[in-house]
Every structure is written in structure tokens, then in C-alpha cells.
Chain A
Amino acid sequence: EDQVTQSPEALRLQEGESSSLNCSYTVSGLRGLFWYRQDPGKGPEFLFTLYSAGEEKEKERLKATLTKKESFLHITAPKPEDSATYLCAGNPYGGATNKLIFGTGTLLAVQP
């Protein structure tokens, strides 16, 4: 069964304290791995798509990387405004195009 697992469930950081969020996937062939940010009471906001192992993408303090079994979202010198839930999702081959399987998210709190 296709599955996406995120860890930790929750993470509390001090401002400036860098860390990484993990997304492991057991998907029957991965068409793409997506990262989203979700603020309370809002819809997810797209961050990155990764398509192949070794690929990296960056946006401000965030960098996403992909291996054959997992993806990491690295947060460098976070600020309080980076506080949000971060979701990852896998798009497997063998199913409908664009069907995403979501993890349950990591709730990140950055304290000033």
C-alpha cells in the first residue's frame, strides 16, 4: 500500500536554530514528491516539487532534498513566521495522474 510518513509530528525551535523535517515514502514508483506549507485555518500553499533522487530545491530559508526512500525539508535559521504545518505528498505511478498521497504533517513552532 502506498504510504507517506512524516516525522516528527511536532517540532519546536528557537529562532535561528536550524533543523530538518523528514518525509519517508513507500510508493510504488514515485512520479513526484511535493512539499506544502499550511497555516492554521487555510489551504495548503505549494512550496516544492522533486522528481528524482539527488534533486534539491531552495526557497528563502527552506531547502528540499530527495533520496530514493525519503525527502527532507531543511530549515536554516528559522524565523517565527516560518511557524506552520509542513505537509509532504507523493504522486505514485500506476494510478491516476496527479493523485497525491499526503502525510499527516509536521507542526513547526519557531519561538523568538
Chain B
Amino acid sequence: DVKVTQSSRYLVKRTGEKVFLECVQDMDHENMFWYRQDPGLGLRLIYFSYDVKMKEKGDIPEGYSVSREKKERFSLILESASTNQTSMYLCASSYPREPYNEQFFGPGTRLTVL
């Protein structure tokens, strides 16, 4: 079974703090993704990576950065947390090509910024 793990289930931070969210997958997937999920807005893509040290902006990258130094690990960084970044953060991974390109998700990190 594919396993995607995230470093924390719940996290509480203060405005202005630097926040690291980590994601690890054990299926040797090339692609990794970070989403945030908010009520009424669905899942929105923040950043994705298709190879080590490669990254591309998603739909809402402002206020975030990412790091992928190893194939299995993809980190999301909030440089200076703000209250509007309170959300559920979901990491996913996948193979790059059909027909096995479904994304597998981690359990999520619920981040609260006070």
C-alpha cells in the first residue's frame, strides 16, 4: 500500500512564525503536491514537484515556499505565518503518467495561526 505521512496532525503557531510542514512518501513517486483545503473552496494546489529539486507554482503559491532535497520528502514552508493561512494542508504523491497517475494523499495537517 502507498503510504504518505505528514509530520503533524495538528499544529498551532503564532503570526509571524516560520512554519515547516513535512511530507514523506514510500512509493518512489516522482510527483509530489501540496494543497490546502478550506470549506466551500475545495482543494487548491499550492506547489508541486516533479523531481528532486524541481518545483512549480500551483494556483495559490503566495506566502509559501517548498523544498525537495530527496525524492521521498517534500516540505512546505510558511515564511511568516498569517491568520489567513489557517487551514487543512494536504500532501499527495503520484507517478507521472497514465494509467497509474492517481494521487495518494496523506492524513493532513490542520494548522491554526493565532
The distance in angstroms between the C-alpha atoms of A98 and B101, with both chains bound, is 7
The distance in angstroms between the C-alpha atoms of A42 and B9, with both chains bound, is 10
Contact A43 B106 (CB under 8 A): yes
The distance in angstroms between the C-alpha atoms of A36 and B106, with both chains bound, is 13
The distance in angstroms between the C-alpha atoms of A91 and B45, with both chains bound, is 13
The distance in angstroms between the C-alpha atoms of A99 and B57, with both chains bound, is 11
Question: B31 touches which one: A32, A45, A46, A98 (CB < 8 A)?
Answer: A98
Residues of B within 8 A of A36 (CB): 105
Contact A51 B107 (CB under 8 A): no
Residues of A within 8 A of B106 (CB): 43
**With A99-B48, A102-B43 in contact, do A46 and B99 touch (Cβ < 8 Å)?**
no
Contact B107 A49 (CB under 8 A): no
Give the B interface residue count (CB, 8 A): 29
Chain A interface helix/strand/loop/mixed: loop
Question: A32 touches which one: B42, B58, B90, B98 (CB < 8 A)?
Answer: B98
**With A43-B90, A104-B40, A104-B41 in contact, do A96 and B98 touch (Cβ < 8 Å)?**
no
Contact A100 B45 (CB under 8 A): yes
Residues of A within 8 A of B64 (CB): none
Contact B42 A105 (CB under 8 A): yes
Contact A97 B96 (CB under 8 A): yes
A104: nearest chain-B partner, CB-CB:
B42
A32: nearest chain-B partner, CB-CB:
B98
**With A32-B98, A102-B43 in contact, do A43 and B108 touch (Cβ < 8 Å)?**
yes
Residues of A within 8 A of B69 (CB): none
Identify which of residues 59-112 in chain A touch chain B, using a CB-to-CB cut-off of 8 Å.
87, 89, 91, 96-100, 102-105
Q: How far is the CB of B14 from chain A (nearest CB, A)?
A: 23
Contact B98 A51 (CB under 8 A): yes
Residues of A within 8 A of B (CB): 31-32, 34, 36, 41-46, 49, 51, 87, 89, 91, 96-100, 102-105
